[in-house]
Amino acid sequence: MSRFTFVFVLLSLFTVQAFSKNFNVLDFGAKADGITKDTKAVQSAIDACTENGGGLVLIPAGKTVVSGTIYMKSFVTLRVENGATLLGSPDIEDYPDDTHKIMYKREKHMDPCFIFAKDAKSFAIDGYGTIDGNGHEKYFKNKRPMLMRFMNCNDIHLKDVKLINPAAWTSAWLYCNEIVVDGIYIHSRSNKNGDGLDFDGCTNVRVSNSSFDNSDDCICLQASLVDKPCKDVVISNCIFETQWGGMRIGLLSRGDFESVTVTNCTFKNIKDSGLKIQMNEGGSMKNMTFSNLVMKNVPRPIFMTFTQQKACVDAPDEMYPYKEMKNFIFQNIIADNTELDKNSAFFLTGMPGHKIENIILKDIQFFVSGGGTKEDAEKTDLNEYTLEVLKGHWPEFSLVGTLPASGVYLRHMENVFVDNFHLTVVGEDARKPIILNDVTNSEVSKFYRNGKLVKIKN
């Protein structure tokens, strides 16, 4: 190595050390003993990091840092190292009221949060450690802080960390752009209403290689503001387990939804639905594909509703008009519900005069236990999701109840194409395998029940 090259290397190393610095919370006074509240130290490290132009804020390995609400800033990477824990304070007084709010009506008790960012850009939370909300019911029975809320932020990375025990939702992403979530694990069973990732009015979202174990919906796509669409979302290679819904799209739906793909995912042990897609607050929902999915013990692999209902905390006095819900493909799906009861079905329903349009169901294997009675088969008085039926609540399957079909029930739809659908019914079942009610311009081809081709009148 020449003298010139040696000097150049030394100068380069000096430059890197001078301008990129790690901000260890211990250097800012954190005790990191799992007892002392280190909120001030953590925030001081974050503030110093962003003032320096960016860098790493370290929660060091082998340490447990207790904190109340902290505020993420631009150009900061909060790294929770392997073996480290960032632990939420058990005292609600440590979560101030300046972290915006939840956008659902009747849920103000979830306004506080642990990690908050507003108008920040290019920040990250990563590492192989754990962020523990410490949200157990013995600490939080009334007001319950979310683990994270990010608002009007751009270029966010959440990678490799474990997110556990939030007192409410794990995360709410409001009107953010350019989001990457990769390799995370969420366990949210310590309290009620434990959603995983809720993207509200977000664009350019990529979620991959992650697993979820939730007490409520694992991933939600929402649009609480008319001028903030939820679009360009890709979800892949994930595992969903929950007491409610695997993926929910809609409900909060004042804005539009467009361009969503979900692929290569598994769903298991879900109480309600795998894909729960609901348009009810006046927006438009279109252009989505769902493929290469495997489900086990998921009563409604697909549950779609198009109706009217107010979900947003800022809802106007008047009811929302219908707009549109169209252009969906569901392909390459295996759903095994042989361990469940007769209320297992693909259930897609619009409303009279307001149809879901352009649906393809293709290459699907569906295994069910059966059990449908003659009385079930003869049912014709199924509830519609009218305002009188909803009574201020959400359009849930329980409001309709047992369907007259053992496999697929489609209602108030247009341009529906079902191809290569294999239904296996283990026990006796008096119901038809598939029913189309008020479905125009449809074609059902290669629909099999227990290996035998079913003749369907289109």
Domain boundaries, the chain: 92-453
- Using 50, 70 and 90 to split pLDDT, how confident is the model at 433? very high
Residue 346 has pLDDT above 50, yes or no: yes
**334: three-class secondary structure by DSSP:** strand
pLDDT at position 20: 53
Q: What angle is formed at CA 80 by the lines to CA 76 and CA 85, rounded to 5 degrees? A: 135
- C-alpha–C-alpha distance, residues 422 and 365, integer Å: 5
pLDDT at position 10: 42
pLDDT at position 15: 39
- C-alpha–C-alpha distance, residues 228 and 226, integer Å: 6
Residue 4 has pLDDT above 60, yes or no: no
Residue 283 one-letter amino acid: G
pLDDT at position 12: 44
Q: State pLDDT tens for residues 163-186.
A: 999 999 999 999 999 999 999 999
Cα–Cα nearest to 118, from 73, 88, 79: 73
Q: State the CATH architecture for 92-453.
A: 3 Solenoid (2.160)
**109: three-class secondary structure by DSSP:** helix
Six-digit token pair at 162? 């474990």
Residue 434 has pLDDT above 90, yes or no: yes
Mean pLDDT of the chain: 94
* Residues of the chain above pLDDT 70, percent: 95
* Residues of the chain above pLDDT 90, percent: 92
* CB-count exposure of residue 224 (10 Å: 0-12, 13-18, 19+): buried
Answer for the pair 248, 280: CB distance below 8 angstroms, yes or no: no
For the chain, count helices (H), then strands (E). Answer: 4, 33
Residue 199 has pLDDT above 50, yes or no: yes
Work out the average pLDDT over 335-354. 98
Residue 397 has pLDDT above 50, yes or no: yes
Work out the average pLDDT over 321-338. 97
Its pTM stands at 0.94
Work out the average pLDDT over 227-239. 98
pLDDT at position 6: 43
Answer for the pair 373, 403: CB distance below 8 angstroms, yes or no: no
Residue 16 has pLDDT above 70, yes or no: no
pLDDT at position 1: 52
Q: State pLDDT tens for residues 114-164.
A: 999 999 999 999 999 999 999 999 999 999 999 999 999 999 999 999 999
Q: State pLDDT tens for residues 31-43.
A: 999 999 999 999 9
Residue 301 has pLDDT above 90, yes or no: yes
pLDDT at position 458: 60
Please give the distance of CA 318 from its chain centroid, rounded to a whole number. 28
- Using 50, 70 and 90 to split pLDDT, how confident is the model at 317? confident
Six-digit token pair at 332? 């390459």
pLDDT at position 85: 98
* DSSP E strands, 81-189: 85-88, 113-118, 121-126, 130-132, 146-151, 154-159, 162-164, 171-174, 177-182, 185-188
- C-alpha–C-alpha distance, residues 125 and 78, integer Å: 5
DSSP-derived secondary structure letter, 384: P
Q: State pLDDT tens for residues 280-298.
A: 999 999 999 999 999 999 9
